[in-house]
Structure 1
């Protein structure tokens, strides 16, 4: 018999209970449940009302199916879908210089001072807090109906979102190369240009493609408020009760969104593979 076999087996001590942690867990659970009850009542959620309205939904779908695939409807739909794509593209690319400048000011490692950091963060928070639809309504009143106010709205909102994402990517970057350049006497601009930005370039490009995907989807909604694109045709079809034309536009939207999503995913995957290579 070995010493291990002859050793006395000691019982496993019970896991100590923490009354305070247990009470806190139950309190948080009760709070979450209470908040959901209040939200349920405030939003008037009723599955009964949804079940009672099945006839209206059936009538709506009956008027929409089959879609009107005549060239008189499909042609303008495809043309407007391209306009929607261009709105999302310009809304993304035109925001790049502003997003990058604010991201460098809003990152702790590249901000020249505390007040510049706080000011940049405040600007990004404001642009991010105002919905792109609100920006679109403002620019529609300024420059009129059409795709241009949609582009301006996406630029403003995207600067806030992408600037924050890029600032966080810069703060999470490997500090080694930047520290080496600072030790060699490089200033902030040189550190950012030659060490920081090259090290996070795949992350920045991936976030840019993600925002392009989101902006194309957002440009559909902006068309509903007069900012051009295929969303404007969908709104017109609904107002004129031409639901078969509306379904045609929606099908075109589905094709457009899937194509942009596949393109964005392929680019992000290629960037990720290049980063790990």
Structure 2
């Protein structure tokens, strides 16, 4: 009996979600520029330029420099994250301090940090400190 109720509830929820989706398609004012009319031409231009790669020494050196910068920022971010993670893990496990309040607080902080996706952290830090590598380090 419970399986039948559960199946009916899922079907009802699926029907509601489908109706909300269809209603949203009807409600959206499609004539007010929701769809980019120049997007298809832009995609064709991008696809057409892909075979013509610029493999000059200047471009390759610029790519290597950007790759090194990205790698160094990622290494800094991971190093800081490992340091904070080890401290929080030891506090959450009760290795350093046996207090249950400290353990609970550390676990709440860990749960909070893990509950928010990295992209959300990145958006928040970009809004707070601007579009620079430091925002990426803090986000990771």
If the TM-score is normalised by the length of the shorter chain, which range does it land in? 0.5 to 0.7
Alignment-derived partner of residue 94 in structure 1: 80
Mapped contact 1:105–1:120 kept (Cα < 8 A) = yes
Residue segments in structure 1 that go unaligned for 5+ positions in a row: 1-18, 159-277
1:125 deviates by 3.8
Alignment-derived partner of residue 98 in structure 2: 112
Is residue 2:122 matched to residue 1:132?
yes
1:80 deviates by 0.7
State which of 34, 42, 48 in structure 2 corresponds to 1:56: 42
Normalization by structure 1: what TM-score?
A: 0.37
Mapped contact 1:136–1:152 kept (Cα < 8 A) = no
Tell me the matched-pair count. 125
Mapped contact 2:91–2:106 kept (Cα < 8 A) = yes
Alignment-derived partner of residue 55 in structure 2: 69
Q: 2: distance between equivalents of 1:140 and 1:118?
A: 33
1:76 deviates by 0.9
1:91 deviates by 0.7
SS at match of 1:24: helix
Q: 2: distance between equivalents of 1:64 and 1:115?
A: 58
1:127 deviates by 3.4
1:97 deviates by 2.0
Q: 2: distance between equivalents of 1:106 and 1:29?
A: 42
SS at match of 1:95: helix
Alignment-derived partner of residue 25 in structure 1: 7
Normalization by structure 2: what TM-score?
A: 0.64
The higher radius of gyration belongs to: 1
Alignment-derived partner of residue 31 in structure 2: none
State which of 62, 70, 79 in structure 1 corresponds to 2:65: 79
1:25 deviates by 1.9
SS at match of 2:98: coil
Alignment-derived partner of residue 103 in structure 1: 89
Residue segments in structure 2 that go unaligned for 5+ positions in a row: 29-34
Mapped contact 1:139–1:152 kept (Cα < 8 A) = no
RMSD: 3.4
